[in-house]
Structure 1
Amino acid sequence: MDVLPENSTVVRDVTENITKPTTGSNMLDLTADSQNVELFNEKNEMGVYCSPEGSLIAKTTSTTTKLTTTDGSITTLTSTTFSPLKIQYFASFHQICVVSALLPLVTLLSCFVSALVFQYDEVHETHCRVYNIVPSISAITGVSPQRYFWRLSIAFHLGPRLPIAFIYKNYYRSLLEQLERRAPHQVPITNLLITLILILNCIEIISLGGVTYISNRENYPIHEKIFITFMICSLCHMLATIKLNEILHDDHGELPPSQRESIKWKKILFAISILSTIGLLIFFAKHRFYCHDMAFSWFAFFEYVIAVANMLFHFTIIWDFPSQHMLIIQGSRTNIEQMFNPPKKRD
């Protein structure tokens, strides 16, 4: 305990140590008087302040020191630091995921209907020149003007997909602490599985972009190879995700209903994708090597089922993250990390 010299003066500093924004930064000034700070600290143990407009948040750091003078009196010195952060963008993560997942589905349906109505002969043209009734996805999205709508929708779809892939990685990593207490021997393989899921997801996203912007009419060999890559990575990503959820949540009774629903539908959609892939390969061979009537239509049908199952598989994110939000914040990286990732308490 520190001892002050006799007749020393101690000043209680509460509001002088306030971090203010740089001039011209367009950030709001965050001010508080001594009474408000004390009331705030009593009510909010997290030390986070929100402005009435909701556009400014700040982290407070309070340091309290008790000092004893030589005459035995005790004086308390309190210093409070405000680190303001301005919210530039705030949106519901749930809504972003819904729009991102449904946009290609709605666009695909629009392309299918419009191509059948206005370009029936063009989208049914194949090298075999046999009777077919269902055009492939490549056919309906490779003609004009449908190709422009499809490419535009995929561009908007791919934008959130890459951040979502890394959000999932961080989410799964946050569950490793529970797994370490329950089954520490599974942590290394689970860590590798999380990394594998991230890689497969990124390759799937890139392949989707490639198969969209390199149509079969422009370069069929490249289009075919990218499509095969997309199919393999998509199925492996589904399987790895299901396996990871089984490891992390061996007792599904502990999960909330939304996550149990998510895991259930992931398994159903993966089974549908596997069965449809088998059917797609069978009828592709019949069309490619034997030119059977309707073989290409059945190939196209299974292609649509796989595409819709893939979209719905990623749509299950609405159950994995039902109440999260996306923020874009102006402020120093140190303050942001301290606010949203506070140091763990030692046992």
Structure 2
Amino acid sequence: MKHVSISLLGFVAVGFPLFGFLFAIVWSIIYDYDASVRTVCHVSNFLPTISSAIGGFTPQRYIWRICIALQAGLRFMLAFCYYNWHLRIHIGQYQAVYKKVVSFAITCHVIENLALVILSSISSTDNGDVHEYSFIIFMVCSQVYMLVSCILISWTHRSATFKVTAQDVKWLRVKWFLFIFNLAIFLLSVYLYFRHNEYCEPYIYSWFALGEYLTILSNIAFHGLCCVDFQQYSFTVLDTEDISTGRFKDS
């Protein structure tokens, strides 16, 4: 039988969108700068928005879509892992409520991933409404998942069956920081977006774009902490012939 580190799968899962994001932004700045920073009201800007970079130009759009498609299956697998990871802890009389909250969190995780696939596959130029609604669903589910995930971990730290270490406390604080930062920078980005639409001032759309970047990067960082959560866990791949004969060999 063979063992596959879940942390490694998590690293690959967050690596795909990170590479796709960085490639789209850098390539747009180098090769499509003037077109990517142009706005309807023709004010000066210095950064392209994510929608412009991943939806308006090639090869950026194709690299981004391929990266999101490749990470989708791994993210669904990690959602299943997190479901079992949370339920490894028994919190006593509130276990039934705890299990329902875990199910809710994992559902948000799955919907977030589905919405990301849809908004990446259908750009704002292909179908603006579908892209916009998918983005809204993505952000709502992302924020809810991060919040509930932090609450669940805080809850398990108070469980008598869980021995809390200094590392556990440290990484929970990191998760809380990433959630609060993600929420704050997203709200600031929303403000800048509407301010640009209302007043069309120079560079405001670029500051909105920077807010988008930080929102995406903090989201990726939060999900990247699965490498810490699952550092002691692995998948085991068994040979069906060994199972049928009762022989299990490490290889």
TM-score by length of 2: 0.89
- 8 Å contact kept, 1:259–1:319: no
User: What is the rounded CA distance, in whole Å, between the counterparts of 2:119 and 2:189 in structure 1?
Assistant: 17
Structure richer in strand, relative to its length:
1
Structure richer in helix, relative to its length:
2
Structure 1 residue 117 corresponds to structure 2 residue 26: no
Question: Residue 201 of structure 1: which of 103, 109, 114 is its match?
Answer: 109
User: What is the rounded CA distance, in whole Å, between the counterparts of 1:230 and 1:129 in structure 2?
Assistant: 30
Structure 1 residue 216 corresponds to structure 2 residue 119: no
Structure 1 residue 273 corresponds to structure 2 residue 170: no
User: What is the rounded CA distance, in whole Å, between the counterparts of 1:245 and 1:205 in structure 2?
Assistant: 21
Structure 1 residue 290 corresponds to structure 2 residue 199: yes
User: What is the rounded CA distance, in whole Å, between the counterparts of 2:213 and 2:148 in structure 1?
Assistant: 23
User: What is the rounded CA distance, in whole Å, between the counterparts of 2:38 and 2:194 in structure 1?
Assistant: 17
Aligned to 1:319: 228
Aligned to 1:243: 151
- 8 Å contact kept, 2:5–2:231: no
- TM-superposed deviation, 1:256: 3.6
Question: Residue 149 of structure 1: which of 29, 52, 63 is its match?
Answer: 63
By relative contact order (CA 8 Å, sep 6+), the higher-ranking structure is 2
Question: Residue 160 of structure 1: which of 53, 74, 93 is its match?
Answer: 74
Runs of 4+ off more than 6 Å: none
Aligned to 2:16: 103
- 8 Å contact kept, 1:258–1:320: no
User: What is the rounded CA distance, in whole Å, between the counterparts of 2:215 and 2:98 in structure 1?
Assistant: 28
| CA 219–126 in structure 1, closer or farther in 2 if over 3 Å, else same | farther
- TM-superposed deviation, 1:257: 4.3
User: What is the rounded CA distance, in whole Å, between the counterparts of 2:231 and 2:171 in structure 1?
Assistant: 11
| 1:10-159 matched pairs, under 5 angstroms | 87=1, 90-142=3-55, 143-159=57-73
TM-score by length of 1: 0.66
Give the superposed CA RMSD: 2.1
- TM-superposed deviation, 1:327: 2.4
User: What is the rounded CA distance, in whole Å, between the counterparts of 1:125 and 1:149 in structure 2?
Assistant: 22
- Secondary structure of residue in 1 paired with 2:123: coil
Structure 1 residue 229 corresponds to structure 2 residue 137: yes
Gaps of 5+ in 1: 1-86, 340-347
- TM-superposed deviation, 1:284: 0.9
Over the matched positions of the two proteins, sequence identity in percent amounts to 27
- Secondary structure of residue in 2 paired with 1:141: helix
- Secondary structure of residue in 1 paired with 2:3: strand
| 1:297-336 matched pairs, under 5 angstroms | 297-331=206-240
- Secondary structure of residue in 2 paired with 1:205: helix
Aligned to 1:12: none
User: What is the rounded CA distance, in whole Å, between the counterparts of 1:259 and 1:94 in structure 2?
Assistant: 16
